[in-house]
């Protein structure tokens, strides 16, 4: 699942630079939200940045700035859900005209939270 998050962030970073540029990936230890040990990875691009007015919407399902047919608008939403399920967070740093960094912070014990299986009635 974390691989899917990384791939989604990398895909968005490449798409943010249609004329080319550099994508950087960084991995570092980080303090966890609860004071425990955590690890972070960041994906940075040299694209145009994310406008302030849409930053609150980028993790919403089906939100996309891409042309119709060029994306589902689910990548960041799914990534956010995966990271939260693992007890982590995604932080956004973006400067207009300079690029964007998504930083994922995960607890070192990042076990997914258990999901309840749907209840089914097997009686006849």
Q: Report yes or no on 75 lying in a domain.
A: yes
User: For residue 76, what are the domain limits?
Assistant: 2-107
Contact assessment for residue 96 and residue 108, using Cβ atoms and an 8 Å cutoff: no
Note the pLDDT tens digit of each residue in 8-56.
999 999 998 989 999 999 999 887 666 668 899 999 999 999 999 889 8
Q: Report yes or no on 123 lying in a domain.
A: no
Note the pLDDT tens digit of each residue in 72-97.
678 899 999 999 999 999 999 999 88
Q: Report yes or no on 80 lying in a domain.
A: yes
Contact assessment for residue 93 and residue 9, using Cβ atoms and an 8 Å cutoff: no
Instruction: Specify the number of domains making up the chain.
Output: 1
Closest CA to 75 of 91, 63, 92, 86: 63
Closest CA to 2 of 116, 69, 124, 90: 90
Assign residue 47 the CATH number of its domain: 3.30.565.10
């Amino acid at each position: 699942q974390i691989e899917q998050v990384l791939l989604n962030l990398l895909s968005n970073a490449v798409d943010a630079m249609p004329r080319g540029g550099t994508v950087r990936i960084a991995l570092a230890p980080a303090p966890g939200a609860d004071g425990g040990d955590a690890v972070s990875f960041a994906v940075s691009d040299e694209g145009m940045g994310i406008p302030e007015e849409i930053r609150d919407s980028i993790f919403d399902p089906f939100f996309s700035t891409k042309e119709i047919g060029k994306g589902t608008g689910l990548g960041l939403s799914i990534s956010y859900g995966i990271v939260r399920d693992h007890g982590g967070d995604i932080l956004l740093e973006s400067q207009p005209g300079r690029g964007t960094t998504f930083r994922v912070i995960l607890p070192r014990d990042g076990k997914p939270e258990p999901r309840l299986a749907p209840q089914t009635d097997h009686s006849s």
